Structure 1
């Protein structure tokens, strides 16, 4: 079965927004005059902003509402997003996206991020023209490792799952692709800590290794 569609995760695959979220949260903690330990911050991984804010209110007996705290964090995030000079696309990913696009491969973004963040990334880095569909967290009833996001993305591409490939960087994302029975390429970045790649069909550290001539043996 030839490869017809590639389903991209966003965070950790196209961009790495985690350092920006971290800076925005810690700026918010300073504003709230609270000291959040590394252990507590690590426990927030994968949690929604609302849940993080509710945890902070309970943990530190704060008077603010979760909406107020979330707005503060969001404002800081936006500021870093547009002004932090270190924030860029993951090396090699734009060349890979253009390579697939020029070879007629359909591209779908399959992310649990908000559509606002997705659109900010697409606008800043001029990615909109390459993708024929985008899925955000709001489109999903279940989160990874449930396969819903990738099954929806495959459906959006109009291609059967055996003609699709997922690019992921996290344990939960790889497991979701595996459960959807879609070929999964795991991207191992310098930032991927403690992720389990055993269920990935191939693992790369350089996006050049996912060019069509390199992966044709799998399809």
Structure 2
């Protein structure tokens, strides 16, 4: 069996979810005097940034005419913080190298804008591991819709049945399973016992659990 591994980015390749939240909290406090709380973020983890911003502005009755400006400011600030202090997920370099040495095809499928994907791949110097890097920002549907994963499989000339997705978010996990793919859940520690993650084929705590799982499939 030939397996293609599809990585989400934020929370899987790099510990950037806290960076996004810190930047968004600082921006809305400064621009609108608004203190964002966990409830503002929890349902939208893994979704495209613009979708999150639209819902946030609706929720708090904020003006929507300048969402493109807000989006660009937030993405730019996140990118700068990641360049200044990147935090790769523990074990990610070893996992990528192990899969690469075994000639296992790999791709990135992220809800982040493409320029942010490029920023992370270049900052961590891991671009050479991946045959494709795809953003949901230009797609008709973001996660939890399966479009991004089905498009990734098509680009990789891979059968969805033989794709393995690694995701940290529930929305991403739902998208992967809807695409007919196997999926490993790597939830944040505070979400580790959320029963909804049992949708995954397995729940893992560390990247060193990925290769043993793959070897059970071959």
Question: SS of 1:196's equivalent?
Answer: helix
Distance 1:126 1:106 in 2: 17
TM-score when scaled to structure 1? Answer: 0.83
Of 68-77 and 112-121, deviating more is 68-77
The range that moved more, 21-30 or 163-172, is 21-30
Displacement of 1:214 in angstroms is 4.5
Q: Secondary structure at the match of 1:52?
A: helix
Answer yes or no: is 1:207 the counterpart of 2:207: yes
| TM-score (ref. length: structure 2) | 0.83
Change (3 A) 1:191 1:99: farther
RMSD: 2.8
- 1:4 deviates by 2.8
Specify the alignment match of 1:132 in structure 2. Answer: 131
Please give the residue correspondences for 1:1-219 in structure 2 after superposition, counting only pairs within 5 Å. 2-32=1-31, 34-38=33-37, 41-42=40-41, 45=44, 46=47, 48-49=49-50, 52=53, 55-56=56-57, 59=60, 65-83=66-84, 85=85, 87-190=86-189, 192=191, 194=194, 196-211=196-211, 213-219=212-218
The separation in 2 between residues aligned to 1:176 and 1:54, in whole angstroms, is: 20
- SS in structure 1 at match of 2:166: strand
Matches of 2:7 and 2:64 in 1, distance apart?
40
Q: Is the 8 A contact 1:3 1:165 kept in 2?
A: no
Q: Which runs of 5+ in 1 are unaligned?
A: none
2: distance between equivalents of 1:81 and 1:137?
20
174-183 vs 27-36, greater mean Cα deviation: 27-36
Are the equivalent residues in 2 in contact too, given 1:24–1:76 (CA < 8 A)?
A: yes
- 1:58 and 1:200 mapped to 2: Cα distance? 30
Contact 2:186–2:205, Cα closer than 8 Å, also in 1: yes
Alignment CA distance shift 1:74-1:163 (3 Å)? closer
Q: 1:149 to 1:22 in 2, by over 3 A?
A: same
Deviation sequence 1:164-218 (CA, Å, 0-9, x none): 211112222222221222111222342546472222112211211111x543223
TM-superposed CA distance for 1:21, in Å, is 1.4
**1:14 Cα deviation after fit:** 0.9
